[in-house]
């Protein structure tokens, strides 16, 4: 979804629905994941310093 959102199809959602997730739950998950993706990209892009107790992440 990050690299090619236009390529997402109903077949990609089928495994989520097969374990009982509703369309609303899938939507909510996508929103949370997209938000964290955005925040992490912004933080990485502007070189936000980590909190003192967080270990550095390997690139």
Tens digit of each residue's pLDDT (9 = 90 or more) over 10-56 = 999 999 999 999 999 999 999 999 999 999 999 989 998 878 887 87
pLDDT tier at 6, thresholds 50, 70, 90: very high
Query: In the numeric block, which tokens belong to residue 5?
Result: 């959102």
Q: Does a structural domain hold residue 38?
A: yes
CB 38 within 8 A of CB 48: no
Q: Does a structural domain hold residue 3?
A: no
The number of residues in the chain equals 59
Q: Using alpha carbons, list the distances in angstroms from residue 46 to 1, 16, 40.
A: 24, 34, 10
Q: Does a structural domain hold residue 30?
A: yes
Q: Quote the domain boundaries for residue 39.
A: 22-46
Q: What is the value of pTM for the model shown?
A: 0.71
Q: Does a structural domain hold residue 41?
A: yes
What total number of domains does the chain contain?
1
Q: Does a structural domain hold residue 32?
A: yes
pLDDT at res. 36? 93
Q: Does a structural domain hold residue 56?
A: no
> Which sign, positive or negative, has the C-alpha torsion 47, 52, 54, 55?
positive
For residue 54, how far is the Cα from the chain centroid? 20
Q: Does a structural domain hold residue 34?
A: yes
Q: Does a structural domain hold residue 35?
A: yes
pLDDT above 80 for 3 = yes
């Amino acid at each position: 979804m990050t690299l090619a959102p236009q390529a997402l199809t109903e077949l990609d959602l089928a495994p989520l629905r097969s374990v009982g997730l509703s369309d609303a739950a899938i939507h909510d998950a996508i929103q949370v994941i997209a938000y964290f993706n955005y925040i992490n990209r912004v933080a990485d892009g502007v070189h936000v310093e980590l909190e003192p107790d967080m270990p550095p992440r390997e690139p």
